[in-house]
Structure 1
Amino acid sequence: MQRRQFLSQLSILTTGACFAQSGAGSYFAGDEAEFAKHIKPVGRALEMEGYYVWCNSPILGEDGLIHVFFSRWDAKKGMGGWIKGSKIAHAVADTPESPFRFVETIFAPRAGFFDATTCHNPLITKVDGKYCLFYMGNSNGKTNTKRIGLAFADSLNGPWTRPDKPLLEAGAEGAWDDHCTTNPAFIKRNGKYWLYYKSWNTKDYETSTDPVVKGNRKYGLAIADKLEGPYIKYEGNPVIDFSYKGNNCQFEDAFVWQEKKKIKMIARDMGFYNHEDGLLMQTKDGYKWDLPKIAYYGAEKYIQQPPPPSYLKKYGRFERPQLLFLNGKPAYLFTASQGGKYMTSSSFIFKIT
């Protein structure tokens, strides 16, 4: 019996058949990215009583500290409070694995502007000698006014020059991206400024029969000659579209970086494999992307958690992946995850070995 089991297992390995992963169903050999083999959980950070914490974007400062720009909102608003009351805050730590210290709230909603009701999706980077904070704001507490903005500062401690107008508008009525622009991902490439953004079509959103996830989220690309724009949308958009798979397969939460001669992207899965994993993709030209592989799995693979309260519907998965670079290489993976000490949400960090 033992011999038969051994031969059976050997056959599975050599033919590339399915392998099981805790909490994430079955996959085929080769579906896992090399990246997934080199992450180890550090644990939760930025657990704040009375708040949901989301969208953690890290960077190494000139002061040697790890700076994180993140979204947070009043826990009384529930998880859905991000759409109508999120603020962007700043925290620092001595190392990526040290406790983070709250510094200040840097962006709060401003009446009369595109970010009048929320400030969310921070992405911090340094470009052309200045710090750039991409983010999303909306003006009516709904998704159809979500727009990407870009703020500047000479120091991670500010002061920040905040935009009066969005960096990128939604498409014309009927376009695939006529609903919003959000979830910014950015690189400078060959002297140009490349902005990847998430959007979807308003009609698809309004006629969707899915009670939880409406519309079909895709990613487009806009390129500018100057950092401050204007950003011109690529005529072949969307560059990432999984709707062909059926079952409302979608894509969101992208983060992009350059490695050697390729652009890489880590993101949250919304149906390609499931809704718990992270995805890793790459491209040579920035337009045509290879099929995704698994970058990380659901929480059950890495940690044990108590049963979730009924109000946490995204419990057990890691969203909004962002990378911390040290010595020019990806060193830590920052994500957002529901649960934690206060059963709201917080940062969850992995070390890349």
Structure 2
Amino acid sequence: MEIQLKERMLPVPLQGGFRMKDFWVWCGSVAKGEDGRYHMFASRWPKAFPMHPGWLLVSEVVRAVSDTPEGPYRWAGTVLPARGPQYWDGRMTHNPHITRQGDKWVLYYTGSTHPFADLTLGEDLRPEDPRVIVARANKRVGIAVADHITGPWKRFPAPVLPVRPGHGDNMLTSNPAPCVEPDGSVLLLYKSRAYKQPPYSGLLHGAMKLHTARALRYDGPYTERSEEALFDRDVELEDPFLWRDGAMYRMIAKDMHGNVCGEKYGGVYAWSEDGDHWQLVRGEQAYSRRILWEDGRTELMGNMERPFLLFEEGKPICLFFAVSNGTDSFRDATDTWNMAVPLRYTADRQDLQ
């Protein structure tokens, strides 16, 4: 792959990225605003609740600001707070992905709701809780729009990607990954799950799959949606990041089992000529969960999710991840944050290759 992200990744700044005391932080997406500063859209939820499945019920999208791509980023306000269970995104917002489309800032995100009582601080929340089950099944992809990167943000009464009964995305849609085309149309990758067939033994949902959708403009309708999942049954990917490289589409994503790139939760490459049919690069890592800090230490992150590339002048200058400490995914995590990894060239650095 020409982009060679793994070889371009520089040591991680100790004070970079975005953290918040007393909050789980996730899902970093960054753009350079009209003010020349870097604005990160992220999700957060209180550490008074478990990291998982707390995010399904109380996550909210926030904005943080830095003078440099690497950070540190400082909290600047809540962007998409809870707004009542009667709204499709009234209880939770998550997975922000910021884009510039014409004269508008368009923020893609996942939202959900449920009709049950609010959580109480310190409550022992478990995956089998009815609020969790319903909130997961109600996940949908939507957008918010603003004239300025600082807002105010206009939300819509319905998601842009509802579920489709009788299709492979009949349970939920989430994890939006948009690519804005030169003509203003949008190719959107998203994650889906389907209800298992009767007798619904064990978990009610099947494996996560990736699908595509297209729209002539950001607010839809997203009518051209793939019938089949993008990859074979043995491939389970999450958190795609999508971009156009000339006539080619490229993707990086999280390898859930490690059977594509060789490392569980490591990064995979894929490419496509049309955005609908994708070729995986097997046996090659886009990135590893083992990172190098600027003080020379190496560390295996418990999670390394939601990859996001920041481009300037057509070149990727910084790679962002949602990361956790611990060694066993979210199960033993005590802290999460959005990590910023500078790449070997930026607008003010020479390409060192």
In the other structure, the counterpart of 1:127 is 101
In the other structure, the counterpart of 2:117 is none
Instruction: Name the % identity.
Output: 33
Structure 1 unaligned regions, length at least 5: 1-29, 307-314
In the other structure, the counterpart of 1:324 is 310
> Residue 177 and residue 242 in structure 1: after superposition, are their counterparts in 2 closer, same or farther (change >3 A)?
same
Find out whether 1:90 has 2:82 as its counterpart: no
Once the 2 structures are TM-superposed, how far is the Cα of residue 236 of structure 1 from its aligned partner?
4.2
In the other structure, the counterpart of 2:168 is 176
Select between 41-50 and 288-297 the one with higher mean Cα deviation.
41-50
Alignment of 1:87-166 (within 5 A): 87-111=60-84, 112-140=86-114, 141=132, 142-166=135-159
> Residue 205 and residue 242 in structure 1: after superposition, are their counterparts in 2 closer, same or farther (change >3 A)?
farther
> Residue 274 and residue 156 in structure 1: after superposition, are their counterparts in 2 closer, same or farther (change >3 A)?
same
Find out whether 1:339 has 2:325 as its counterpart: yes
User: TM-score w.r.t. structure 1 length?
Assistant: 0.80
Once the 2 structures are TM-superposed, how far is the Cα of residue 204 of structure 1 from its aligned partner?
6.3
User: 1 CA distance for matches of 2:169 and 2:82?
Assistant: 24
Once the 2 structures are TM-superposed, how far is the Cα of residue 190 of structure 1 from its aligned partner?
5.6
User: 2 CA distance for matches of 1:68 and 1:55?
Assistant: 9
> Residue 300 and residue 185 in structure 1: after superposition, are their counterparts in 2 closer, same or farther (change >3 A)?
closer
User: 1 CA distance for matches of 2:58 and 2:239?
Assistant: 20
Alignment of 1:166-205 (within 5 A): 166-172=159-165, 174-189=166-181, 191=183, 192-203=185-196
> Residue 206 and residue 116 in structure 1: after superposition, are their counterparts in 2 closer, same or farther (change >3 A)?
farther
Once the 2 structures are TM-superposed, how far is the Cα of residue 198 of structure 1 from its aligned partner?
0.6
User: 2 CA distance for matches of 1:128 and 1:205?
Assistant: 46
Structure 1 SS opposite 2:11? strand
> Residue 198 and residue 206 in structure 1: after superposition, are their counterparts in 2 closer, same or farther (change >3 A)?
farther
Structure 2 unaligned regions, length at least 5: 115-131, 327-332, 345-353
In the other structure, the counterpart of 2:44 is 72
User: TM-score w.r.t. structure 2 length?
Assistant: 0.80
User: 2 CA distance for matches of 1:328 and 1:337?
Assistant: 26
- What is the Cα-based RMSD across aligned positions, in Å? 2.5
User: 2 CA distance for matches of 1:205 and 1:339?
Assistant: 38
Once the 2 structures are TM-superposed, how far is the Cα of residue 164 of structure 1 from its aligned partner?
1.4
> What do residues 155-195 of structure 1 show as CA deviations (whole Å, max 9, x unaligned)?
011111111111110111x4211111100011123632211
Structure 1 SS opposite 2:28? strand
Task: Indicate if the aligned counterparts of 2:317 and 2:343 stay in contact, CA closer than 8 A.
Answer: yes
> Residue 206 and residue 286 in structure 1: after superposition, are their counterparts in 2 closer, same or farther (change >3 A)?
farther
Considering fraction of residues, name the structure with more helix: 1
Greater Cα radius of gyration, structure 1 or 2 = 1
In the other structure, the counterpart of 2:241 is 255
Select between 327-336 and 64-73 the one with higher mean Cα deviation.
327-336
> What do residues 201-225 of structure 1 show as CA deviations (whole Å, max 9, x unaligned)?
1116994768xx9621111111112
Aligned pairs, how many?
306
